[in-house]
Structure 1
């Protein structure tokens, strides 16, 4: 494993972990993007399993998390716009340069998958396909009642609180991680409207999503309350030009913690399914 510093156009940097197969430099590369509030290093067990299965892996980082040079605090503002316009393009260009001749696939978890899909809707030539794991549209109607009302109210209150506090102190209140108030505002808007037309971005991504023509594997994890089937379909149903395959991942009874994250370690089933998907893409 090597580490490369990737610099976005606006100057923000992250350290990207590159897991290579020197004996097979043309092996497919999976560009892994984490969930909200989750550091890239948490996905190391998954990366190691994917390399053992014949893949190469680039572990990216969301802005404001882990190795990102952007530190979440009062006065620091970034949202979907900065991540989709600056961070994802810089990452994919760096991966293309680091793995010349190797096909690239997005492997996005939750918010990392959502933002990766927005990025690829504008630059589909940068990937051969996308695997979206527990990556829902956050529209409140994708959750069963009464959890749907909790989603709607909870995110509006979280966005308001973050705006007043200056940022979202997720680690302190033990809900996700620390994040920019603008991220919460963008997410709250998408929760309310169901549309990827958010305050931080001048781009309405809805028509771009409808034109995305790539093979997509949309993975629902059984028992994942943070990304239920209705939410996952809420995102994949926007991809009307894509070749979408839906698949449910069933984790073992011994899987620890939340189903939204348990697959990162209990990954054998997913790795096998990803192998089949990439081979057919």
Structure 2
């Protein structure tokens, strides 16, 4: 029997949208903890294959989901295609976590969310905390502009207000064309720009003000800031962690090796040995 069995399943959300989830099972150890990995904004799930392999090699079971509009998602970003935080938190995350629960019935589940995937995961777990035993938030900041040092903070504020306005006129955000993030719905940019400006997770696409629910979330949380990550600086990562006033939050800064290449916001996906070791300790203590 193989130590790790990799399969792919299609998850269907309540509104009919579908996406694949890649499952790394340990048939000989079905109760091994499962990490539900959710990507950063505009990033395909396939980019996290090296991380999933490293986690599986460390004894975890793994489920790698997909954000709406990316990769295997049936929702294709384009003019007239409208979705925001609401659709992902109310439809996609519940469908994914229920699929993972069915696939790993004997295993405790932990979110491992990167950037926007971690932010949305925290919003989802604030609504359904029983669906996870804990959360690892890597480079997942509150995007409030004050979490960035001055004068980058003002640049962050201006950039996202401009990006949201541009996406509204263009019909969507063509990130791949302009080399920033990835393609995404104009509504996602509007939701993010609102949170950048106000600091609150009460965004235009959703009638829910998530702030009170975040404050009541009691799960253990590992909040990870990657040293040198300009897209998720310590102030931003702490900004999201500070909203979780009832959670047992551990804050940790990850230093990548000198050989790590590319943006620090993504380099940890391949240079993951230190993170995997820290996650192992966190999950064992959760």
TM interval, shorter chain, is: over 0.9
Partners of 1:152 and 1:65 lie apart in 2 by 25
* d(CA) in 1 for partners of 2:218, 2:164: 33
Which of 41, 47, 57 is 1:42 aligned to?
47
Q: Summarize the alignment of residues 1-281 of structure 1 with structure 2, pairs less than 5 Å apart.
A: 1-281=6-286
Q: Secondary structure at the match of 2:70?
A: coil
Distance 2:84 2:225 in 1: 26
Residue 62 of structure 1: SS of its match in structure 2? coil
Secondary structure of the corresponding residue to residue 150 of structure 1: helix
Measure the CA separation in 2 of the matches of 1:241 and 1:101: 27
TM-score scaled by structure 2? 0.98
- SS of the equivalent of 1:248 reads strand
Q: CA RMSD in A?
A: 0.3
State how far apart, in whole Å, the 2-side matches of 1:254 and 1:27 are.
32
Q: 1:166: Cα distance to partner? A: 0.2
Aligned to 2:3: none
Instruction: Work out the CA distance in 2 between the residues paired with 1:158 and 1:45.
Output: 31
1:151 Cα offset (Å)? 0.3
Secondary structure of 2:245 counterpart: coil
3-state DSSP class of the match of 1:144? coil
Q: Which runs of 5+ in 1 are unaligned?
A: none
Instruction: Work out the CA distance in 2 between the residues paired with 1:196 and 1:38.
Output: 22
SS at match of 1:238: coil
* C-alpha distance in 2 between matches for 1:248 and 1:167: 34
- Alpha-carbon distance in structure 2 between the residues aligned to 1:64 and 1:72: 5
Number of aligned positions between the proteins: 281
The whole-number CA distance in structure 2 between the counterparts of 1:259 and 1:253 is 11
Distance 1:252 1:213 in 2: 33
Offset from partner CA, 1:261-281 (integer Å, 9 cap, x none)? 000000000000000000000
SS across alignment from 1:14: strand
Deviating above 3 A after TM superposition, structure 1's stretches of 4 or more consecutive aligned residues are none
1:101 CA displacement: 1.3
Deviations 1:50-87 (A, max 9, x none): 00100000000000000000000000000000000000
Q: Using structure 1 for the length normalisation, give the TM-score.
A: 1.00
- Listed one character per residue, the Cα deviations across residues 133-192 of structure 1 (whole Å, up to 9, x for unaligned) are 000000000000110000000000000000000000000000010000000000000000
Taking the aligned partners of 1:102 and 1:254, their CA distance within structure 2 comes to 35
- Alpha-carbon separation, structure 2, partners of 1:248 and 1:230: 12
Cα distance in 1 for partners of 2:251, 2:240 equals: 12
